[in-house]
Amino acid sequence: MYPLRRNRRLRANEAIRSLVRETIISPNDFLVPLFVVEGKNVKEEIASMPNYYRYSLDLLEKEVKDLWQMGLKSVLLFVKVPDNLKDNKGAEALNDNGLMQRAIKTVKNACPEMLVMTDVAFDPYSAYGHDGIIENGIILNDESADMLAQMSVSHANAGADFVAPSDMMDGRILAIREALEDEGFTDTGIMSYSAKYASSFYGPFRDALDSAPVNMKNIPKDKKTYQMDYANRFEALRETEMDIDEGADIVMIKPGLCYLDIVREIKNAVDVPVAVYQVSGEYAMLKAAAEKGWLDHDAVVMEQITAIKRAGADVIASYFAKDVIRILNS
Ligand code: PBG
């Protein structure tokens, strides 16, 4: 006798496949990272991120309007800070008229309904390319968390809807939540990079913002004392549960594709939305392979994005967001 169940019936044609498909991608899934620079009329392509750009504020305005037209309703802002404004304490991060604060206002003016999330971290402001204040070769935890809390208040004050701390200092979510409450920003959300691994996939991003750790005596050459060891799984759960207890509204796992086991584990364990960041190195790899004609760009983009969502992502931060919309519309 034939098997009672023939699974191929559900794959026989596109109509039945689309009827039973479990994971559907839409513009609502995306958070679009944007890189902002000083200047006028600047749209610079990032060398290691083909077709991805840094925008000056005037062109940022146009870009967010285009995103909104495409149905992309959330952005995550990053700034490239001029060298002369970098120091060990990240003082420029607290400048209420700094580039980030002006970028927030620019987006809100251009597109009031656009959800604005901001990167809360030191590294673009650090003369040493680290996410915290350094003393005697050590990244100080509590002093750095305190700065991140002040930075978050400054972003909220400029109009940010969510702050997204990406530093991995201990206790910073509580410090940020308390500071926001104290200053009356009770509606400002926190999307915490909860399980952020010390990954070599961040290389192109550090090119984009010129934010890599510097090679100097007494400065740690990597971020392994605060970002997580990629060999660890239980630690990701612990970090994430602590961030939720401290007041995170959304938790994030980063990078994406190499960490989908962690995504599923966290998705099963928590009851807040889970975000995944498909990072710069993941973008660069596919662009490079596609340029060489070795992979079908659009097909692989959709396969990767679907895999991230299938693993449990409620929110996907991806440099491919506009590519996905183009593909969905084609
Ligand atoms: C910095 C930050 C990094 C990314 C987001 N925020 C880099 C790092 O930690 O060195 C990486 C994003 C990407 O690679 O796309 N706090």
The SS3 assignment for 164 reads: strand
- Please state the separation of Cα 311 from the chain's center in Å: 17
What's the pTM?
A: 0.97
Type of residue found at 143: E
In this predicted structure, what is the pLDDT of residue 4? 85
In this predicted structure, what is the pLDDT of residue 52? 98
Task: Please identify which of the residues 254, 267, 287, 309 carries the catalytic annotation.
Answer: 254
Residue 18 lies in a domain: no
Residue 2 lies in a domain: no
Residue 22 lies in a domain: no
pLDDT single digits (tens) 68-111: 999 999 999 999 999 999 999 999 999 999 999 999 999 999 99
Q: What are the residues facing 100 on neighbouring strands? A: none
Contacts of 125 (CB under 8 A, 6+ apart): 81, 85, 86, 87, 90, 91, 92, 93
Contact yes or no for 253/274 (Cβ under 8 A) = yes
Outline where DSSP puts E strands in 255-295: 274-278
Q: What span, in angstroms and rounded, lies between the C-alpha atoms of 281 and 49? A: 8
Does 126 sit in the ligand 1 pocket, CB within 6 Å? no
- Annotated catalytic residue 254: yes
Task: Please identify which of the residues 43, 89, 105, 196 carries the catalytic annotation.
Answer: 196
Does 202 sit in the ligand 1 pocket, CB within 6 Å? yes
Q: What span, in angstroms and rounded, lies between the C-alpha atoms of 77 and 177? A: 20
pLDDT, tens digit only, all 330 positions of the chain: 678 889 999 999 999 999 999 999 999 999 999 999 999 999 999 999 999 999 999 999 999 999 999 999 999 999 999 999 999 999 999 999 999 999 999 999 999 999 999 999 999 999 999 999 999 999 999 999 999 999 999 999 999 999 999 999 999 999 999 999 999 999 999 999 999 999 999 999 998 998 999 999 899 999 999 999 999 999 999 999 999 999 999 999 999 999 999 999 999 999 999 999 999 999 999 999 999 999 999 999 999 999 999 999 999 999 999 999 999 999
In this predicted structure, what is the pLDDT of residue 43? 98
Q: What are the residues facing 275 on neighbouring strands? A: 252, 315
- Annotated catalytic residue 80: no
In this predicted structure, what is the pLDDT of residue 3? 81
Using the mean position of ligand 1's atoms as its centre, give its distance from the Cα of residue 168 in Å: 11
Contact yes or no for 204/46 (Cβ under 8 A) = yes
Mutate which of 192, 279, 282 to test ligand 1's pocket (most atoms within 8 Å of Cβ)? 279
Numbered residues of the known binding site: 239
Residue 83 lies in a domain: yes
The CATH number of the domain where 176 resides is what?
A: 3.20.20.70
Residue 225 lies in a domain: yes
Number of independent structural domains in the chain: 1
> Domain residues for 272?
27-329
Q: What span, in angstroms and rounded, lies between the C-alpha atoms of 300 and 292? A: 14
Numbered residues of the known binding site for Mg(2+): 239
Helices 172-182 and 142-158 cross at an angle (nearest 10°) of 40
